[in-house]
Chains A and B, each alone.
Chain A
């Protein structure tokens, strides 16, 4: 069974500073994907970044980067130059094949607050 663990229920960061949100995972599948989603207070789920288990390089998307350490089974999200609009709940998720569908298992989330 897959499991995603986010150990930080809440995090605070000063505007313009960088912040790392932790995510560890457990799976026996050789092939999997790791995702981060942002959920602002308005409630929608916004895709941020993806890392494949076979990808050699860490994924980056603008101010977001994923620090993927396969041996440690961690996939931490790094947000550089935090902005007030980054305040939101952040979810780490892992995908696995289930027949012809890809099932996402989510962590419990980290509530990030960016301070002015």
Chain B
């Protein structure tokens, strides 16, 4: 019973392609997030959704578009992929209140060639 599941785990694609990463959580959390971890392991928030509503939208190229069909799913679509998009992308979820931080998915390693 995976709490936060991301697919695919690995994604290798050519520059200019469009790709999607899917994320689903079965924890009943209200809020979901996308984080990017670069080659130096630095983690930075990209987006946050609460009950299908966009809450946080950091400075991210508009080639990245999150989509939340319901509060258990938050997918990430990336258009016109560039070499610099290569990174590990983490989905996470959290309760709106409480002290338990985030529950992370296992990450998607995206490699753009």
Q: A residues within 8 Å of B by Cβ?
A: 33, 35, 37, 39, 43-45, 47, 50, 52, 89, 91, 93, 95, 98-106, 108-109
Contact = CB atoms under 8 A, between A and B. Distances in A.
Contacts of B44: 106
Interface of B: 30-31, 33, 40-45, 48-51, 53, 55-56, 88, 90, 92, 94, 96, 99-104, 106-107, 109
A39 B90 CA distance: 12
Given A103-B48, A108-B41, A109-B41, A47 B107 contact: no
A103 B32 CA distance: 10
Q: Is the interface of A mostly helix, strand, loop or mixed?
A: strand
B101 A43 contact: no
A47 B101 contact: yes
Given A43-B88, A44-B104, A45-B104, A101 B99 contact: no
Nearest to B108: A43
**Residue of B31, B43, B101 contacting most chain A CB atoms (<10 Å):** B101
A95 B101 contact: yes
Contacts of B48: 98, 101, 103
A101 B31 contact: yes
Contact of A101 (B55, B101, B103): B55
B101 A33 contact: yes
A86 B30 CA distance: 31
Nearest to A39: B41
Which 8 pairs, one residue from A and one from B, show the smallest C-beta to C-beta distance? A45-B104, A101-B48, A101-B55, A106-B43, A100-B50, A99-B55, A35-B101, A50-B99
